[in-house]
Amino acid sequence: MASIDKRPNERYRTRWREYPGGPQKTRHFDRKGDAQQFLDGVRGDLAHGLYIDPAGARTLFRDYAEA
């Protein structure tokens, strides 16, 4: 499930979930076209099993290696 909303500050918010019932992720854009392009990429990555959580990408290698 994914959507794009126009916010009161004239920016566009994208919302998506990695899996049904999972936590909602958001990202904001100045232009609707940019928001749509980003969301299309997320949907494609989810469909092909290539999606990487942006928060997970911030994990330090040292922490990953220790785990």
High-pLDDT (> 70) share of the chain, %: 93
Contacts of 16 (CB under 8 A, 6+ apart): 1, 2, 3, 24, 25, 39, 42, 43, 46
Q: How confident is the model at residue 63, as a pLDDT?
A: 82
Confidence (pTM)? 0.70
Which pair of tokens denotes residue 64?
A: 């990953």
> Confidence band (pLDDT; 50, 70, 90) for 27?
very high
Task: Enter the DSSP assignment of 17.
Answer: E
Instruction: Give the chain's count of helices (H) and strands (E).
Output: 2, 3
For the cut 70, the answer to whether the pLDDT of residue 55 exceeds it is: no
For the cut 90, the answer to whether the pLDDT of residue 15 exceeds it is: yes
For the cut 80, the answer to whether the pLDDT of residue 57 exceeds it is: no
